[in-house]
Amino acid sequence: MPVKIKMKQDHIDKIKEICKKFNNDGGELINVLHQTQHFIGYLPAEAQELIASELNVSVAHVYGVVSFYSFFTMTPKGEYPISVCMGTACYVRGAERVLDEFKRLLNINVGETTADGKFSLTALRCIGACGLAPVITIGEKVYGRLAPDDVKGIIEEYK
């Protein structure tokens, strides 16, 4: 299948290199997707097409796998990705109200990125810091024991 691809050449080279590292084996698709997403930040359609042709599987198969797993994303994340834990411990300590406040102040929904590309919002399940519930992370940084009132100040830190 001929592939029309409009990606940066260094992305194309890197994806080909990743596929090769896994012997262009279709059984390694998930590992290939992990490394590609780690490199580009997300999995655009062009990358999926390229991976499909490199691993000799159908684009539908690649898309089927990408859409099945929540770790894989087809939209670029914001510069500061905000993740609100909605695990059980955080939920019973009011995580939903914290999440609502982020939605309100950033004016985006879960899974979206602000227009200026600064913030994106996701909901996670338990990040293993239940003792600090409710917990959010921004990039690598963890914020715990939050109340809705804290949200404004946190966003200010990154403005």
Partner 1 sequence: MDVNKKQLRIALRNCGFIDPENIDQYIVRDGYMALANVLMQNNPQAAIEVVKKSGLRGRGGGGFPTGLKWELASKNPSDQKYMICNADEGDPGAFMDRSILEGDPHSVIEAMAIGGFCIGATKGLIYIRAEYPLAIKRLEIAIAQAREYGFLGQKILGSDFDFDLELRYGAGAFVCGEETALIHSMEGMRGEPTFKPPFPAQEGYLKKPSNVNNVETFANIPVIFNKGWEWFSSIGTEKSKGTKVFALAGQINNVGLIEVPMGITLREVIFEIGGGIKGGKQFKAVQTGGPSGGCLTEAFLDTPIDYDNLIAAGSMMGSGGMIVMDETSCMPAVARFYLDFTVEESCGKCTPCRIGNKRLCEILDKIIEGKGTMDDLTILKNLSQVIKDTALCGLGQTSPNPILSTIDHFWDEYVAHVTNKKCPAGQCKSMKQYIIDAEQCIGCTACARACPVGAIKGEKKNPHSINQDLCIKCGACYEKCKFNAISII
Residues that bind ligand FES (CB under 6 A): 85, 87-90, 126-130, 133, 135
Question: Cβ contacts of residue 36 below 8 Å, gap of 6+?
Answer: 14, 15, 18, 43, 47, 51
How many other C-beta atoms are found inside a 10 Å radius of the C-beta of residue 121? Answer: 22
**Which range binds partner 1 by CB under 8 A, 12-20, 107-115, 127-135, 150-158?**
127-135
Q: What is the DSSP letter of 101?
A: H
131 binds, among partner 1, ligand FES, none (CB under 5 to 8 A by kind): partner 1
Q: Which amino acid is at 104?
A: R
- Choice between 140 and 156, CB closer to partner 1: 140
Question: Whole-angstrom Cα distance, residue 112 to residue 54?
Answer: 30
Helical pair 45-55 and 9-21, crossing angle rounded to 10 deg: 40
Give least dist CB 129 to partner 1, A: 8
- Choice between 51 and 129, CB closer to ligand FES: 129
Give least dist CB 50 to partner 1, A: 17
By CB under 8 A, name the binding residues for partner 1: 26-31, 33-34, 64-65, 68-72, 86-93, 124-128, 130-131, 133
